[in-house]
Amino acid sequence: MSEVVIRLREVTKSYPGYSYITSGFKNFVFNLRRALSGIRKRFIVLQDISFEVYRGETVGVIGRNGAGKSTLLGLIAGVIKPDRGQIEVRGRIAPLLELGAGFHPELTGRENIILNGVLLGMTRREVMNKLEQIIEFSELREFIDQPLRTFSSGMIARLGFSVVMHLEADILLVDEVLAVGDSSFQKKCWQKLCELREKGVTILFVSHALDQIEKFCNCVIWIDNHRIRAMGKPSEVVSIYRVESEWK
């Protein structure tokens, strides 16, 4: 039997309610009792989530907006802590969650590659050994020694994607970030993901593109109303999800 590399046991995540605070100081003061009550009342994002992912699996995560899909990946990546439950992860994680996070606008593209690579767990030597590959993949060589503040958002996303793609991670977390650059670059990104899958990298893939989920994944988790509604073969889970979505 394959090794379990991700295991969640009855994981719950919630956030306090801040509606009166975010609606302004005056509203907060005049509704103090309700505001304090709202803070004590927590909004549940995920509740009692339990599943296992085996080494080399490609798992798709689907669900409506606000279902908790991105929060799930954040919990697995370790950037968010659960309220309760256990999360076990074995191996180096490469998170494709928010491309360009950790970049500094005053540093050059080249310097940001080094910075981001180190922040994501690579040694400086590892980053330097892969620097040329990362620059080549990004297709940004002519801009790479310019300050990042001169880059467009699309260029920053390309650079972030290129760094993560060369981390040599055991587990890759992908959250709706494949609409990067033009169609030819997007195709190259997909080819790289397929290459990593063939090498045995475990991939968790959040997307609303159900056709991609069916073709790319060998297992699908459907999150609905903050819980796992179904988990199993992509064709079966996606088919049920499509039918139910049409009725809502």
Fill in the amino acid letter for 236: E
Provide φ and ψ at 152, rounded to 5°: -75, 165
The highest-level CATH class for domain 55-247 is alpha beta
Beta-ladder partners of 16: 42
* Percent of the residues in the chain that have a pLDDT greater than 70, as a whole number: 84
Q: Could you tell me which residue, 238 or 153, shows the higher pLDDT?
A: 238
Handedness of CA 187, 130, 159, 207 (dihedral sign): positive
28, 20 Cβ separation under 8 angstroms: yes
- pTM here is 0.81
pLDDT of residue 9: 97
pLDDT of residue 22: 47
pLDDT of residue 235: 94
pLDDT of residue 4: 96
21: pLDDT confidence band, cut at 50, 70 and 90? very low
pLDDT of residue 204: 95
24 has pLDDT over 60:
no
pLDDT of residue 172: 92
229-to-4, 58, 102 alpha-carbon distances in Å: 22, 19, 34
28: pLDDT confidence band, cut at 50, 70 and 90? very low
pLDDT of residue 240: 93
pLDDT of residue 96: 79
Domain boundaries, the chain: 55-247
- List the one residue out of 206, 227, 230 whose CA is nearest residue 217: 206
pLDDT of residue 39: 54
Alpha helices (H) along the chain: 19-22, 25-30, 32-40, 69-77, 109-119, 124-138, 153-165, 183-198, 210-216, 234-247
Arithmetic mean of pLDDT over the chain: 86
Least confident of 60-64, 107-111, 186-190: 186-190
pLDDT of residue 128: 95
Give dist(CA 148, CA 150) in Å, integer: 5
Burial of 155 (0-12, 13-18, 19+ CB in 10 A): buried
